[in-house]
């Protein structure tokens, strides 16, 4: 019999098609905070549950143009401002390794779906750890790329002011080899600035590490298994590249919560949460969050406690004098310069993903500032990749953050791939 057109397509046309559309036929998922035309995107807000978008986020457009098929939109906390993915529209997301535990936020549903092998690749966003926390808790890889590489158009809400240096859209996936492809597609022509095709020179790599943030009484200290996971990763890289890693401290990092709070409000023109995010279409009226707080405890509110508290905090003046705020921003920018000069073009910093593995549901209320372990690197505007490092004694994912300078994303991806080889990467979850 003669060869069928399908055979000829496989021999020639199929390969050409993959060059034109490298995600041809590949399903992907995304968090519920990126607009998709004619789809309901809620950002976890009850009053947006029937609101359809009139445009598609640029990053999602590029994935679809590359042949990707949007399979599902995944759960987030209300207004994407909490470390647990729970809202009154879709309920609570649960960790595939232990359904009693948190998935992280705000890309928590995305992390859980990928960790459970329910999706091939996914898209999250990150202004305080919202890619890296869910990636860590659910045992997958997540990349917060260099600022300005992946466009933010179509994100809910779109950032203004210093937030544009903090918020990033980025890939989440089970396998490190998928990171560069996803990054290249979403970055478009900006990918050229990252030199993703250039190999990392391991022998020239300079490795630093920190065992948490010292000197801050509001942060939970690093637990033993998280410390050991960090050290295991450091030791592995030392042996792999025959180098000596250096343990460092950044004393100014202890003010991370103040830096984060000020950075979220610096030069921003965003409407407050109680007007932008807690109202229908984000444009009309506003919600009285104090009233909602009473209604919540009476079981009558359509909002979550985290959303109400975020609205109250955002609507009030910052607790800093003008002189104190100016001094803190100076310290932030000095720390930013210090990290930049330390890492250069061939340095990486290994840092704990969180002080502990996934907490039980609602437990983060007792440790609300743990997100500072990830938020520090948003404040400093540097790219970070979260890497899984096996499971702890409770069968929960361990992990480490790898930080680099802006435009050294290829080094971070290369290190993620090396750590995947050394620690087997994503570990499938057992039966719940």
Catalytic sites, residue numbers: 31, 106, 130
Three-state SS at 389: strand
Contact 125, 170 (CB under 8 A): yes
- DSSP letters along 16-41, please? HHHHH-TTTT-EEEEETTB--BTSB-
CA proximity to 17, closest of 60, 63, 66: 66
Q: Give dist(CA 189, CA 186) in Å, integer.
A: 9
**Residue 49 burial class via C-beta count within 10 angstroms: exposed 0-12, middle 13-18, buried 19 and up:** middle
Contact 178, 143 (CB under 8 A): no
Q: Give dist(CA 43, CA 66) in Å, integer.
A: 25
Contacts of 165 (CB under 8 A, 6+ apart): 147, 263, 381
Q: Give dist(CA 33, CA 57) in Å, integer.
A: 10
Contacts of 18 (CB under 8 A, 6+ apart): 24
- From residue 64, give the alpha-carbon distance in Å to each of 18, 29, 250, 299, 364: 13, 11, 42, 41, 36
Within 10 angstroms of residue 260's Cβ, the number of other Cβ atoms is 21
15's tokens: 């390969």
Q: Give dist(CA 108, CA 75) in Å, integer.
A: 6
Which DSSP helix (H) or strand (E) runs through 309? Answer: helix 305-315
Q: Give dist(CA 41, CA 129) in Å, integer.
A: 21
């Amino acid at each position: 019999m003669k060869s069928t057109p399908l055979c000829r397509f496989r021999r020639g046309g199929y390969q050409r098609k993959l060059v034109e559309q490298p995600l041809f036929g590949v399903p992907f998922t995304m968090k519920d905070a990126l607009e998709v035309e004619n789809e309901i995107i809620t950002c976890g807000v009850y009053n947006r549950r029937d609101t359809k978008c009139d445009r598609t986020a640029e990053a999602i457009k590029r994935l679809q143009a590359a042949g990707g098929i949007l399979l599902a939109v995944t759960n987030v906390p209300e207004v994407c401002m909490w470390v647990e993915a729970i809202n009154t529209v879709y309920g609570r997301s649960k960790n595939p390794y232990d359904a009693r535990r948190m998935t992280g936020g705000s890309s928590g549903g995305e992390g859980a779906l990928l960790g459970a092998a329910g999706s091939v690749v996914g898209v999250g966003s990150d202004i305080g750890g919202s890619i890296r926390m869910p990636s860590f808790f659910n045992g997958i890889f997540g990349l917060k790329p260099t600022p300005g590489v992946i466009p933010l158009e179509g994100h809910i809400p779109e950032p203004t002011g210093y937030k544009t240096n903090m918020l990033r859209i980025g890939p989440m996936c089970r396998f490190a080899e998928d990171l560069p492809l996803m990054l290249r597609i979403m970055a478009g022509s900006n990918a050229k600035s990252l030199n993703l095709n250039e190999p990392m020179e391991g022998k020239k790599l300079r490795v630093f590490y920190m065992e948490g943030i010292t000197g801050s009484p509001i942060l939970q200290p690093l637990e033993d298994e998280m410390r050991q996971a960090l050290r295991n990763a450091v030791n592995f890289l030392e042996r792999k590249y025959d180098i000596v890693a250096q343990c460092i401290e950044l004393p100014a990092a202890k003010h991370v919560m103040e830096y984060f709070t000020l950075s979220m409000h610096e030069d921003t023109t965003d409407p407050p949460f109680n007007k932008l995010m807690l109202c229908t279409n984000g444009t009309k009226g506003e919600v009285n969050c104090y009233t909602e707080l009473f209604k919540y405890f009476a079981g009558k509110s359509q909002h979550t406690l985290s959303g109400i508290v975020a609205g109250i905090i955002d609507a009030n003046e910052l607790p800093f004098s003008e002189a104190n705020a100016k001094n803190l921003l100076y310290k932030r920018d000095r720390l930013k310069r210090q990290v930049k000069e330390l890492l250069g073009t061939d340095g990486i910093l290994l840092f704990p993903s969180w002080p502990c593995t996934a907490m039980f549901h609602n437990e983060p209320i007792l440790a609300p500032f743990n997100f500072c372990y990830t938020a520090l690197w948003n404040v400093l505007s540097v790219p970070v990749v979260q890497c899984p490092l096996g499971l702890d004694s409770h069968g929960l994912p361990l992990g480490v953050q790898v930080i680099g300078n802006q435009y050294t994303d290829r080094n971070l991806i290369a290190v993620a791939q090396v750590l995947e080889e050394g620690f087997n990467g994503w570990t499938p979850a057992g039966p719940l």
